Every structure is written in C-alpha cells, then in structure tokens.
Homo-oligomer: A and B are copies of this chain.
C-alpha cells in the first residue's frame, strides 16, 4: 500500500449491492465523498458549514478505475491524498479490501472551490490545507 495522508476503515452494507451481489458502481462514489468529508472533519472543517457560509467545493471531474468488486458486509480501507494544480484540488483516492489488501478502486477526483457561486483560484482552500500541499 502506498502512503496516504488519510485512511478510513469502512464497511459495505447489503443494500449497496445489486443483483450481481456486488456493490453497485455508483456507491463507490458515495464512499469517496464520505471519505473526503471525514478527512475534512478531522481537519476541523465541515462541508455543511462551508455551504452555509457561501463556500462550496464541487467536483469538476472524476475518474474511477474499477479493479476488484466488493461484496456485502466487507471491510475496506478508503485512502486519500490531495494535491493542488492551479485552481484545482485533486484527491487521489484508493479503496482496498481489508481481508487481502486487494485494490478495489482507484479514483482521481478533481474539485474546485466556489465562493458565493463564483469559481475561485483556490487560495482560501490552499491556506486551510497548506501542510498537505
């Protein structure tokens, strides 16, 4: 496993699986979002409070590579790194099945920061996360 700045242990739920008996593709996007928000929480930040104060960090582009499917009630590690590319904050997020550390999904999530509905250069966000960038 690579080095990550944040690792969250999570578990799949049966209702997230579809008729193939594996987690439906879209639910991985939920896991990735939950991981980013949990990382923010650890950093003392809150997506909800940001929204209420007029700041929204929104996904501009996401790429997900599906490697190994997860089944119901399986434990996995959801891992995160972040870097800045101009106005974009790019989260590299990988999910590993805990039982054998197989890579399940590898994602790149490119976000931008809006304040009062306008795209910013990202300096406010960069100040918050300076130690990681």
* A interface residues (Cβ-Cβ under 8 A, vs B): 13-15, 17-21, 24-27, 29-30, 33-34, 37-38, 41, 46-48, 51, 56, 58-66, 69, 71-73
Q: A13-B33, A26-B29, A41-B73 are in contact. List 17 more A-B contacts (CB 8 A).
A: A14-B18, A14-B47, A15-B26, A19-B19, A19-B21, A19-B72, A20-B51, A20-B56, A20-B58, A21-B48, A25-B59, A25-B62, A26-B27, A26-B33, A58-B66, A59-B66, A62-B66
Distance between Cα atoms of A53 and B124 in the complex (Å): 31
Closest to A109 in B: B25
Q: Which residues of B have CB within 8 Å of A30?
A: 13, 15, 26
Q: Which residues of B are found within 8 Å of A51, using beta-carbon distances?
A: 19-20
A sample of 8 cross-chain residue pairs with beta-carbon separation below 8 angstroms, ordered by A number, consists of A13-B33, A14-B34, A15-B18, A15-B24, A25-B29, A25-B62, A38-B73, A60-B66
